[in-house]
Amino acid sequence: MTNPAEAQLRPPAQPTATHCPYCALQCAMDLTPAEPTADALPVEVSGRDFPTNRGGLCRKGWTAAELLRHPERLAEPLVRDGEGALRPASWDEALGRVAAEIRRVQAEHGKDAVGIFGGGGLTNEKAYLLGKFARVALGTSRIDYNGRFCMSSAAAAGNRAFGIDRGLPFPLADLDTADTILMLGSNVAETMPPFVQHLAGARAAGGLVVVDPRRSATAQLTDDGAGTHLAPAPHTDLVLLLGLAHVVINDGLLASKYLSERTEGLESVIRSVAPWWPERVQATTGVPAGLIRSTARRLADSARTGSCYILTGRGIEQHADGTDTVTAAINLALLLGLPGSPRGGYGTLTGQGNGQGGREHGQKADQLPGYRKITDPEARAHMARVWGVDEASIPGPGLPAVELLRTLGTDDGVRALLVHGANVVVSAPDVSAVRDGLRRLDLLVVCDFFLSETAREADVVLPVLQWAEEEGTMTNLEGRVLRRRRALEAPAGARSELWIMNRLAELLGAPSSFPTEPEVVFEELRRASKGGLADYSGVSYELLDAGAEVYWPYPAGSKGTPRLFAKRFAHDDGRARLVGVRAATPAWSPSHPAPEEFHLATGRLLEHYQSGAQTRRVAALSAAQPEPRLQLHPAAAARLRVAENAWVRVMRLGEGSAQGAAPSSGSRSAARRPEVLCRVELTLDIRPDTVFLPFHFPGLAAANQVTESRTDPISGMPEFKTTRVLVQPAEFPPADGANADLVHAGPSEERP
């Protein structure tokens, strides 16, 4: 027992200033060492005053420390033995096996037979070195990351319109003074709750407009005169945006001087919105024509005399036409003169913790560090100089995530895959096909701190550091570069991904250098990004540790760029591009043809984060949402004759899995198309033609068993938000045991 007198003599524990390990809001927090007792957490979490969260944290942030000493934490490498089970191994054995298999696979099938799948939660240093490792140590073009499932449509639309992609091109606090905010497809009240305080001004002015087919927690913020909830039919957001733009143009509400001085392409937008007058939009979306007109006029009035912002999120982006839908939102903002204006702006809300930085420095299939195009000769020459390699040795563009996963285990595809910071067995579309692909691989290596569903499929599992055990930088949704600081030591057997890449590069005889110290890697990242769109050359650990506000682009000698577009856009001529987009005729009428048919939308709940590999292991979060619930309107439930808590089966309409190789005739996966089993939650907050399911759960409960692998042709974004499904009453457990293989194999981790 501690002597109280001794405790009084001991200096108080000093907190470590860092940031939350979850979403892109990157709330500031302090970690204070806790008293060392048997049941205590290693650190105590407290919110820290910071412009994004102002001391507040959500449930996930408050409980983040529970994962740091979790009993399921991986603390030694695992390799799959001849009996199919994962067993402990030394680092030398594990890495030796990985290197030997990589050499064999590439010798037999070529450089591109080895692929990397990265993550939007990796620090900038790890994301940068992972891209370098792929192109220099492996010589492969086959690298992409889970940000393709998150920000790719918004990024493609932003690059097309502005010539640059930064989620929010202004500080988040700018929203505080807005009297009108149009939010499309974002449920910040559940996904990043501290964000909500920045909506207070718009709510007080009655100007929060939320577009969502569900009456989500964010949509409920418009109650009691605080704003307006527009609930369009699923997958009609593009039509709604064209209708709003039609009113702005037809009623003479354009920012004409701004458009003539700062944009190109107005005529193409005028032509594209002409067919979408409010009454026609109402017939397609279900949103009343009067509301369409009043919303457009509110936006225009606010843009002229107040402060107006348009914000987009995953709900309108995660579609096979997501790039065009975001483009329509940007067009509306440009018509109103918002981007770069002191009276407002346009932005998109990045989801993953380092979703912004993770896509800037080389994880994407078509990009080099600094947001350079991999096909640009000048960019390739620059990177060759920084890396000290022959420019010709740098591979060309690879495949976006869904296409990359389609090639797993095929004759001319990826035969060995290294996964960092992703759990594709839960998060990817059509996950049963992805799982089949992983099982066809010659080698699957997963770096993680828990045995995720993807790690359970691996041949080699490498335990890595958690957020509070590492140094590095993150870039939040504002484009603000932040410092992640080490607050405690990692378990003895865990290693940084930087160390892992260094050792593998050495075993593979790779050219160039692969530093293990984050600050040394960051210094190289600075040189690599210099002159690029995402220029970090003026950023340093010293600057960040001094408390400076750092927004990229931050060229050496500058003071950074908190607000983009004040004087010019990033296209060579300095002008933004209005791009006319057209809505396809809806493939399915809002009045669906059969009582069992619905639109399925997927998303997250308050206690959820991404695939749940972390949040499902936090007792308080798991207890609050222990199982998936299919949100269903009572009228729809009456048609199906199901009650609250009843079990239902959710199946994708049409053919079974379209992804990957066809299963063999005798396989279990050939017996039945993918489906989800879950309970019903009745709610009036959803349309009768729509059902909602969180994608947070694995196995039989994985929503992504039934989502499609169809993608946006521009961005590669999968169609997550509108899948046509059948919902039928079901028994549980299934009497025939079908699809039992979809649940992970259990403690022995034997692969079927």
What is the pairing mode between strands 675-682 and 629-632? parallel
pLDDT band with cut points at 50, 70 and 90 for residue 147:
confident
In the chain, where the domains are located: 4-67, 78-149+367-517, 152-349, 597-742
pLDDT band with cut points at 50, 70 and 90 for residue 654:
low
Instruction: Give Cα 538 distance to the centre of its chain.
Output: 27
Higher pLDDT, 35 or 89: 89
Q: Determine which helix (DSSP H) or strand (DSSP E) holds 233, and give its type and residue range.
A: none
Q: d(Cα 15, Cα 42) in Å, to the nearest integer?
A: 12
The pLDDT value recorded for residue 576 is 98
Tell me the mean pLDDT in the region 615-626: 88
- pLDDT of 735 > 90? The answer is no
Q: Dump strand ranges (E) for 2-147.
A: 16-19, 28-33, 43-47, 78-80, 86-88, 114-118, 143-145
Tell me the mean pLDDT in the region 172-185: 97
What type of residue sits at position 715? S
Q: Which CATH class is domain 152-349?
A: alpha beta
The pLDDT value recorded for residue 622 is 87
pLDDT band with cut points at 50, 70 and 90 for residue 656:
very low
The pLDDT value recorded for residue 745 is 33
Secondary structure of residue 709 in the 3-state scheme = coil
The pLDDT value recorded for residue 663 is 34
**Which residues neighbour 337 within 8 Å (Cβ) at sequence distance 6 or greater?**
255, 257, 258, 259, 303, 343
Q: d(Cα 237, Cα 231) in Å, to the nearest integer?
A: 9
pLDDT band with cut points at 50, 70 and 90 for residue 623:
confident
With beta carbons less than 8 A apart as the criterion, state whether 444 and 450 touch.
no
Task: Return the DSSP state at 415.
Answer: S
- pLDDT of 6 > 60? The answer is no
- pLDDT of 266 > 80? The answer is yes
**Which residues neighbour 23 within 8 Å (Cβ) at sequence distance 6 or greater?**
60, 191, 192, 351, 352, 353, 609
- pLDDT of 620 > 60? The answer is yes
Number of Cβ within a 10 Å radius of residue 72:
9
What type of residue sits at position 269? V
The pLDDT value recorded for residue 737 is 43
CA angle 401, 403, 407 (to 5 degrees): 110
Instruction: For residue range 418-438, list pLDDT tens digits in order.
Output: 999 999 999 999 999 999 999
pLDDT band with cut points at 50, 70 and 90 for residue 550:
very high
Instruction: For residue range 355-411, list pLDDT tens digits in order.
Output: 888 889 999 999 999 999 999 999 999 999 999 999 999 999 999 999 999 999 999
78-149+367-517 placed in CATH 3.40.50.740: yes
- pLDDT of 2 > 50? The answer is no
Instruction: Give Cα 509 distance to the centre of its chain.
Output: 34
DSSP 488-551: SPPPTT-B-HHHHHHHHHHHTT-SS---SSHHHHHHHHHHHHTTSSS--TT--HHHHHTT---B
- pLDDT of 336 > 70? The answer is yes
The pLDDT value recorded for residue 294 is 98
Token reading at 166: 């930064």
Return the bridge partners of 135, or none.
none
Burial of 573: CB neighbours in 10 Å, binned 0-12, 13-18, 19+: exposed
The pLDDT value recorded for residue 355 is 87
Which of 81-95, 147-161, 201-215, 515-529 is predicted least confidently?
Answer: 147-161
Residue 536 exposure: Cα atoms within 13 Å on the Cβ side: 30
Count the residues in the chain.
752
The pLDDT value recorded for residue 10 is 52
The pLDDT value recorded for residue 1 is 44
Token reading at 293: 């007109």
Instruction: For residue range 439-478, list pLDDT tens digits in order.
Output: 999 999 999 999 999 999 999 999 999 999 999 999 999 9
Task: Return the DSSP state at 15.
Answer: P
Q: Which residues of 580-609 are buried (b: 16+ CB within 10 A; e: fewer)?
A: bbebeeeebebebeeebebbbbbbbbbbbb
Secondary structure of residue 246 in the 3-state scheme = helix
What type of residue sits at position 608? H
Instruction: For residue range 676-718, list pLDDT tens digits in order.
Output: 999 999 999 999 999 999 988 888 889 889 998 889 898 988 8
- pLDDT of 5 > 50? The answer is no
Average pLDDT, the chain: 90
pLDDT band with cut points at 50, 70 and 90 for residue 661:
very low
- pLDDT of 724 > 70? The answer is yes
**Which residues neighbour 678 within 8 Å (Cβ) at sequence distance 6 or greater?**
627, 628, 629, 630, 647, 648, 650, 693, 701
Q: Determine which helix (DSSP H) or strand (DSSP E) holds 671, and give its type and residue range.
A: none
Token reading at 430: 């059509």
Q: What is the pTM assigned to this prediction?
A: 0.92
Domain with residues 4-67, CATH architecture: Single Sheet (2.20)
- pLDDT of 136 > 90? The answer is yes
332: phi then psi, degrees, rounded to nearest 5? -60, -45
Among 23, 26, 355, 331, which residue's Cα sits nearest to residue 167? 355
Q: d(Cα 203, Cα 221) in Å, to the nearest integer?
A: 8
The pLDDT value recorded for residue 662 is 34
- For domain 597-742, give the CATH number: 2.40.40.20
Q: d(Cα 99, Cα 91) in Å, to the nearest integer?
A: 12
User: Is the omega angle on the peptide bond into residue 733 within 30 degrees of 0, that is, cis?
Assistant: yes
Among 673, 242, 631, which residue's Cα sits nearest to residue 432? 673
CA angle 485, 129, 401 (to 5 degrees): 110
The pLDDT value recorded for residue 742 is 35
pLDDT band with cut points at 50, 70 and 90 for residue 669:
very low
Q: d(Cα 660, Cα 386) in Å, to the nearest integer?
A: 38
Among 571, 533, 582, which residue's Cα sits nearest to residue 554? 533
- pLDDT of 657 > 70? The answer is no
The pLDDT value recorded for residue 658 is 36
The pLDDT value recorded for residue 672 is 52
Q: Dump strand ranges (E) for 265-393.
A: 308-312, 344-348, 367-368, 372-373
Token reading at 66: 């529970």
